[in-house]
Amino acid sequence: MKTDKNTIIGFVLLGILFFVFFWYTSKQTNALQERDAFVKDSTEKAIAARKPAVDTVAMRLDSLRRDSLTKVTDAGDFETASTGTESLVTVENPLMKVIFTNKGGVVKSVVLKKFNQMDSTPVILSGGPHDQLGYNINTSPNHAVLTSNLFFSAPVITKNADGSQIITYTLHGSAGQSISHQFKIPSNDYFMDWNILLNGADKLLTQNSLNLQWGVEMHQQQLSHTYEVQQSRLCFFDKDGYDYSSAMSGTTKDFEIPVDWVSFKQQFFNSTILSKNKFASGKAEMTLLPDTTAELFKATANLKVQVPASTVATIPMQLYYGPNNYDLLKKYNNGMENIVDLGSGIFSFVKYINRYFIMPVFNFLASFIGNYGWVIALLTLLIRLVTSPLTYKSYLSGAKMRVMKPELDALKAKFGDNQQGYAMEQMKLFREAGVNPLGGCVPALLQIPIFFALYSYFSSNIDLRGQSFLWAKDLSSYDVVAHLPFSIPMGFGDHISLFTLTAVITSFMISLYNINMTPQQSNPAMKYMPYFFPFILLFVFNRLPSALTWYYTVSNIITLGIQFVIQNYIIDHDKILAKIDQKRKTPKVKSKFQERYEQMMATQQKMKELKGGKNK
């Protein structure tokens, strides 16, 4: 026992010694590493201090010299245009200010005078550091260069009698070639002509193809980055007509057949390039950028224009930097009005409701009412008046159902859990009384296309942009009554919209009213659905334009008023009951559907009874 005790004590002491040893060794090692690091750092600093500062400058100059030599080599016959100083020229009309640059001889940026950004400065389309507009030319054997890297001569500006202006940039090669970029800025429009004139086209272009490279940085123009991204698209027009690709998470489109134009579309503005001779093929891409930046997308397009085989060639194109205004774009007669999303996807049919009803009525009301909020209210009232006959039939059907509630309750008590038997007797009761149980669904179904028509219209109507109403500063975006210190998921965001709250509260009031006026539901899901729907609206509506939530609020208020008037002053329940009793006395003719339905239910009932007998 004594030996064991001494052994244990020895092992403990040995362990302590090992621990102390490793701790001390580790401490010494760390101290040594720190000293070595200090010596190394001091040495490097001393060496760096002894190095002449000119080394860094020399390296940078050497890099620039090599880059310059590469540019000169690539420029070939256009060597004198490979270097220069960028100079800007501004040409403007009442709608826009176009800034041109001699580097590439193209548009650098476009300022829209009639529209402001969130900070109240004018909207700027294009003009980012990565924007590009140019094409490759052959400058010498085995060398080519982008025109956007060459410096054109000083521009010549000509003013025409109709108020339009022409600005021309020219580039001359040592072998007699020349390139001219001629832009025509209209007197009062956004669509500018761009003609490329090539002298020596057979040598400048490979296989008579002009490969255009176009790049645009799309700036955020609206309050909600997320919603503006959802409304952005890559649009184009070919022999099959207008088409688009949603850019919510970025998109790429290959053009395998000729296209007339390609457009990068935001919620209210677009940048479009059009070829009067069509783009033979190409590819376009929109890359989604992080929401921490002021940019939405980096958009690029590589488009090929086939040029007739000739020494001298003119390539006519057009550029559009401007608003998504339906009437404005429609006058160009090239399908660009479809860029304005008045209805797409499975609800593409609602664009006809917008084009031939909503839009004309809205514009008519706006012609003599100054505030768009009241225009929306009157439009809502008019829509409800037009649909009021169906609404009346819906409430009449509901009143008949309420009159028959005692008989339905009696049937339910009689059949208990026998749902098939109850359903058969219920259909029989409805047929005898002349009641259509689905009669109340028609107005609800009608509201679906109307809602999506107005959703598309209010989300794309640029006239609403910047228009205030009550507490909303911009009817084209959500209103903010309170900012949250955090973001709620499921689309709610970091703010509270008061118009969303009014829409949800009035929807909840309608649900409560309908619950009180509707026979009790045995299905729990149907019983609680009226409460669940307004809660869902809270998350769906909070990011939507306040024009839409204001419409929904007004529509709900009108609905409550119509329900109250019809139920209390128009519908007479005693007369309804009398008509039902009279209807029961008249001979009934079953429809083929009713006969087949009753036969099916009877068959199922017999099978259930037989199955129950066998189980016994």
Give the whole-angstrom CA distance, residue 155 versus residue 108: 14
**Residues composing the chain:** 616
Residues 359 and 336 reside in one and the same domain: no
The answer to the question of residue 613 being in a domain is: no
Picking from 597, 598, 601, 594, the residue whose alpha carbon sits closest to that of residue 420 is: 601
Is residue 401 over pLDDT 90?
no
Residues 365 and 336 reside in one and the same domain: no
Given 312, 340, 368, the domain boundary residue is 340
What order of strands is seen across the sheet that includes strand 241-246? 156-159, 165-172, 178-185, 191-199, 312-323, 269-279, 259-265, 233-238, 241-246
Q: Tell me the residue range of the domain where 546 lies.
A: 350-585
Give the whole-angstrom CA distance, residue 68 versus residue 61: 10
Residues 379 and 289 reside in one and the same domain: no
Residues 375 and 245 reside in one and the same domain: no
* pLDDT: which is higher, 537 or 603: 537
Is beta strand 493-496 parallel, antiparallel or unpaired with respect to 482-488? antiparallel
Give the whole-angstrom CA distance, residue 457 versus residue 292: 29
Residue 210's pLDDT is: 93
Give the whole-angstrom CA distance, residue 267 versus residue 246: 12
The arithmetic mean of pLDDT across residues 234-249, rounded, is 92
Residues 325 and 369 reside in one and the same domain: no
Q: Which helix (H) or strand (E) holds 197?
A: strand 191-199
Please tell me whether residue 296 adopts helix, strand or coil conformation. Answer: strand
Radius of gyration of the chain (CA): 37
Residues 305 and 359 reside in one and the same domain: no
* Bridge partners of residue 217, in order along the sequence: 298
pLDDT-derived band at 184, boundaries 50, 70, 90:
very high
Count structural domains, the chain: 2
Residues 6 or more apart whose Cβ sits within 8 Å of residue 126: 107, 108, 109, 110, 216, 217, 271, 321
Picking from 13, 19, 21, the residue whose alpha carbon sits closest to that of residue 5 is: 13
pLDDT-derived band at 389, boundaries 50, 70, 90:
confident
The arithmetic mean of pLDDT across residues 228-233, rounded, is 91
The answer to the question of residue 1 being in a domain is: no
Is residue 112 over pLDDT 90?
yes
The answer to the question of residue 26 being in a domain is: no
Residues 126 and 229 reside in one and the same domain: yes
The secondary structure of 122-145 as a DSSP string is EEEEE--TT-EEEEEEEEETTEEE
| End-to-end Cα separation, the chain, in angstroms | 81
Given 285, 315, 340, the domain boundary residue is 340
Count CB neighbours of 323 within 10 A.
Answer: 22
Query: Which tokens hold the place of 161?
Result: 């009698």
- Report CA dihedral (45, 50, 52, 53) to the nearest 10 degrees: 30
Cα distances (Å, whole numbers) of residue 465 to 47, 117, 267, 511: 62, 10, 10, 33
Give the whole-angstrom CA distance, residue 145 versus residue 138: 7
pLDDT tens, position by position, 474-504 = 999 988 888 788 777 776 778 888 999 999 9
Amino acid at 371: N
The answer to the question of residue 181 being in a domain is: yes
The answer to the question of residue 547 being in a domain is: yes
Give the whole-angstrom CA distance, residue 247 versus residue 300: 13
The answer to the question of residue 230 being in a domain is: yes
Please tell me whether residue 81 adopts helix, strand or coil conformation. Answer: helix
Residues 201 and 291 reside in one and the same domain: yes
Residues 312 and 431 reside in one and the same domain: no
The answer to the question of residue 130 being in a domain is: yes
pLDDT tens, position by position, 361-376 = 999 999 999 899 999 9
pLDDT tens, position by position, 566-603 = 777 766 556 666 666 666 556 655 555 566 656 666 66
pTM of the entire structure?
Answer: 0.77
pLDDT tens, position by position, 420-443 = 666 776 776 666 666 666 655 666
Picking from 258, 138, 260, the residue whose alpha carbon sits closest to that of residue 198 is: 138
pLDDT tens, position by position, 116-168 = 888 788 899 877 777 899 999 988 777 888 999 999 999 999 999 999 999 99
The arithmetic mean of pLDDT across residues 446-470, rounded, is 90
Given 297, 316, 340, the domain boundary residue is 340
The answer to the question of residue 222 being in a domain is: yes
Residues 276 and 365 reside in one and the same domain: no
Query: Which tokens hold the place of 36?
Result: 């070595």
pLDDT tens, position by position, 66-94 = 445 455 666 677 877 788 899 999 999 99
Classify residue 290 by its DSSP letter: P
Residues 125 and 205 reside in one and the same domain: yes
Residues 382 and 485 reside in one and the same domain: yes
pLDDT-derived band at 40, boundaries 50, 70, 90:
low
- Burial category of 249 from C-beta neighbours within 10 Å (exposed 0-12, middle 13-18, buried 19 and up): exposed
CATH number at residue 190: 2.70.98.90
